[in-house]
Structure 1
């Protein structure tokens, strides 16, 4: 079976169940924390793939990875995933649930990486400009990365604009190297 079909089916089922119980926002927060745990702790996936570890212990681990106090909907869903031995798909399920929730609630994802910190006023103006033509809400994250040297890296939903000095320097270097290779 296609590896993308399984997580999508489980994510849709969880979303529908959470909606029925009126807890889709709580489950969204739990799935966001879970996917963040997978991203930060690469050993989590390895531990869950261990066949020696009992489902009871895996359940505790997954619930802990999603936050301190998880909802009954989330706990029951994890039991279902473990019962059907689908724990290797949990990271994908968490990401797909987030996508389903964001589509249903019309939430856009925005990010801005700069070489130096932005003022709160500039950040607010940026959010305002982004949401002027969009319906819904915006989850906006900013980060500071001095390695980009200057400029910015901006993203919203699936669109990405890299206007960093570091990337421009890489392009110039690549063009220079290509041009010199041709002349030799």
Structure 2
């Protein structure tokens, strides 16, 4: 079974369990935390995927690492992935789970590229403006700083891109000037 198919199955099962227990938001934020930790700490992935470290040691490591920061449901999901030798699908599973959770809550993730970091107020304003444009009740804003944009913002929500950056405007003007349409 391919990794993405397995990730989808585990994500769907966890999603249904979280909905049944009415802890969807809790599990969602815990998994987001785990994903950030996993992606920002390469040593964690090496330990969890190392064949000479026993499953019991990996479980203990997860227990000590996350401790009380995550619920029993999330913790047991990690243990299940370790026991079934599927810890390599952790990040794709979390990504799929997040997509399912956002859809169930009529939310979406908006990746906002800007020349400088956005304030919380700026992020909230972007969420308010673009939520209606994509037909969602709320947006979760992730800000990525890209100084090549010069100014303005570029917003990606799913497969839609809204580009209001200065760089994009300059590129449009350059194309128009070079084709003589201006």
Q: Could you state the TM-score of these two structures normalised by the residue count of structure 1?
A: 0.76
**What is the rounded CA distance, in whole Å, between the counterparts of 1:166 and 1:61 in structure 2?**
46
**What is the rounded CA distance, in whole Å, between the counterparts of 2:10 and 2:120 in structure 1?**
39
1:30 and 1:66 in contact (8 A); partners too: no
**What is the rounded CA distance, in whole Å, between the counterparts of 1:120 and 1:71 in structure 2?**
28
1:37 and 1:66 in contact (8 A); partners too: no
1:152 and 1:162 in contact (8 A); partners too: yes
Q: Which moved more, 1:82-91 or 1:66-75?
A: 66-75
Cα gap change, 1:65/1:32 in structure 2, threshold over 3 Å: closer, same or farther? farther
Stretches of structure 2 that go unaligned for 5 or more consecutive residues are: 176-182
Deviation string, structure 1 residues 85-143 (Cα, Å, up to 9, x no partner)? 11111111111111111111111112322224557665544333222352422112334
Instruction: Give the match for residue 159 of structure 2.
Output: 158
Q: Which moved more, 1:66-75 or 1:164-173?
A: 164-173
Instruction: Give the match for residue 57 of structure 1.
Output: 57
RMSD: 3.1
Stretches of structure 1 that go unaligned for 5 or more consecutive residues are: 176-184
Cα gap change, 1:70/1:136 in structure 2, threshold over 3 Å: closer, same or farther? same
Instruction: Give the match for residue 90 of structure 1.
Output: 90
Q: Could you state the TM-score of these two structures normalised by the residue count of structure 2?
A: 0.77
Instruction: Give the match for residue 28 of structure 2.
Output: 28
2:4 and 2:89 in contact (8 A); partners too: no
Mapping of residues 1-184 of structure 1, within 5 Å: 1-63=1-63, 68-116=68-116, 123-133=123-133, 134-165=135-166
Q: Which moved more, 1:99-108 or 1:118-127?
A: 118-127
Cα gap change, 1:151/1:125 in structure 2, threshold over 3 Å: closer, same or farther? closer
Q: Secondary structure at the match of 2:110?
A: strand
